[in-house]
Amino acid sequence: MTNTPIRQLLPLVGPAEDLTAEQVTRYSRHIIIPGFGRDSQLRLANARVAVMGAGGLGSPILLYLAAAGVGTIGIIDDDRVEASNLQRQVAHGTGDIGRSKAQSARDAVLTRNPDATVILHEFRLGSHNAIETLADYDLVIDGSDNFATRYLLSDAAELLGIPCVWGSILRYNGQVSTFWAAPNDGGPGIVYRDLFAEPPAPGTVPGCADGGVLGVLCGTIGTFMATEAVKLIIGQGETLLGRILSYDALTARSREFALAPDPSRVPVTELIDYDVFCGLGIPEAEAMSIQRLPSPRPGGVASEGTRLEPTMEDTLLPDSTEWSAPELSDALAAREAGGASFQLVDVREAAEREAASIPGSIHLPLNDFFSGDAVQQLDQDVPIVLYCHHGSRSEYLLKALNQAGFDNVSHLTGGIDSWSLVVDPSTPRY
């Protein structure tokens, strides 16, 4: 436990006018709680909450906010339901596969509370639309699974002066906190940038799609987040502002860490390009400044990094750094027939490879490249083709290898997921 001063904030939302007789019956178990009463229920009815994501965290958040009587719920999600979502995203069912997640979640919300007003935002949230989207809400709950969106939401909430409830899950662990740049108790504000001033290098921290997550953990952390939102709305209890709650599902133990404002942090004055900030999709040297790769040994790459003359085998391979799944399939067939030579490298984690792999590939996890071990196991005179789950890690490594002097490297766009969808449906999707 920490010795962090407890932050009991004022109610975030004023009360609505009244409850109907049916609503009094529905929320009676709230109303009879000492200190909660009719007033708190009226505040929930008057609240407007935006939820980022209708996935693993968003599902329990949305369902419990609806059941609690939150009057207006915004759902921000541009994705569609897939079979691999159903293990943890409890707002959706088998019949929802292929549907918009936002629409499926809306139906789940209204099934539990037909009095709720649900607003759908079925687009990707970015710097160009975040302020406009969130301006009409009292708070935002961050159920996203990537760093760019987390920084975007925290920065937008800071500019709007609203709290942001944050949660994160991976494998068996989860964390929860509340960020608010200008809390209504007059105390110091704390935001996501006080926790992480800079994002990690791309590809170094897996998301749930790559690292996996225990399905029931989403419910545990998601309900913690929904509870934080309710406490903020009604002004009851001790919020997690200034504290990080960390939970380990394997041990059923939770720990608490103090989080103080970073005195060197410059207040946010505008939204930025968060993909660039997080080093996504760009060949910037800054993204690789953390760890440099060993220089390639002499052979197929000239000392100044220019490639030697292509061989006949090279001409049978796609002339691009981005291979589609059908192109990889054709190249593998040509290699099998002795007409092409290349190394197909799986850069995912070992547990992912156990779930599914592309035949004819070798396994060299991403982190092994940054330790130098993987490079020593490759024939640097032979073209290298990288693949991961969806293509983000392989693309990042491609650019890293290019910066280190390799120019005979390509990657599979869409990763093994595209291979399963387009080439070999027997390859399991996860």
Which is it for strands 322-323 and 343-346: parallel, antiparallel or unpaired? unpaired
Q: Are residues 359 and 389 located together in one domain of the fold?
A: yes
Residues 254 and 382 grouped into a single domain = no
Q: Which two tokens stand for residue 304?
A: 């100044």
In this structure, are 116 and 249 located in the same domain? yes
With H, G, I as helix, E, B as strand and everything else as coil, classify residue 376.
helix
11 in a structural domain = no
Position 292 scores a pLDDT of 41
Q: How many domains is the chain built from?
A: 2
* 234 and 291, same domain (yes or no): no
β-bridge partners, 183: none
Residues 83, 155: one domain?
Answer: yes
173 domain residue, yes or no: yes
Give, for all 430 residues of the chain, the pLDDT tens digit: 456 667 779 999 999 999 999 999 999 999 999 999 999 999 999 999 999 999 999 999 999 999 999 999 999 999 999 999 999 999 999 999 999 999 999 999 999 999 999 999 999 999 999 999 999 999 999 999 999 999 999 999 999 999 999 999 999 999 999 999 999 998 999 999 999 988 887 666 766 666 789 999 999 999 999 999 999 999 999 999 999 999 999 999 999 999 999 988 889 999 988 887 787 654 443 334 324 445 444 433 333 333 333 343 444 677 789 999 999 999 999 999 887 889 999 998 887 899 899 999 999 988 788 777 788 888 888 999 999 988 888 988 888 888 777 888 999 999 999 999 999 999 998 8
- Regarding whether 176 and 197 lie in a shared domain, the answer is yes
Q: Note whether residue 12 is domain-resident.
A: no
Please tell me whether residues 152 and 176 are part of one structural domain.
yes
- CATH code of the domain containing 366: 3.40.250.10
How far is CA 339 from its chain centroid? 41
Q: Is residue 1 part of a domain?
A: no
Q: Out of 164, 208, 218, 278, which one is annotated catalytic?
A: 208
Cα 149 to Cα 147: distance, rounded to the nearest angstrom: 5
Assess if residue 390 is contained within a domain.
yes
170 and 271 share a domain? yes
Q: Which domain holds residue 240?
A: 21-277
At residue 367, the pLDDT reads 76
Residues 72 and 221 in one domain: yes
DSSP assignments along 236-285, one per residue: -S---BTEEEEEETTTTEEEEEE----TTPPPP-S---HHHHTT-S---G
Let me know whether 253 and 322 are in one domain.
no
Tell me the three state secondary structure of residue 299. coil
Give the bridge partners for 174, in sequence order: 169, 247
Q: Is residue 103 part of a domain?
A: yes
Instruction: Identify whether 8 is part of a domain.
Output: no
For the question of residue 218 being annotated catalytic, the response is no
Asked whether residue 6 is assigned to any structural domain, the reply reads: no
Q: Which pLDDT score, from 0 to 100, does residue 3 have?
A: 63
Could you tell me which residues come within 8 angstroms of residue 223 by beta carbon, excluding any fewer than 6 positions away?
A: 60, 61, 64
Confidence at residue 285, expressed as pLDDT on a 0 to 100 scale? 39
- Residue in 164, 218, 278, 388 annotated catalytic: 388
What is the DSSP track for 147-203? HHHHHHHHHHHHHHT--EEEEEEEBTEEEEEEEBSS-TTSS--B-HHHH-SSPPPTT
Q: What is the CATH number of the domain that holds 237?
A: 3.40.50.720
Q: Is residue 208 among the annotated active site residues?
A: yes
Q: Is residue 253 domain-shared with residue 376, that is, in the same domain?
A: no
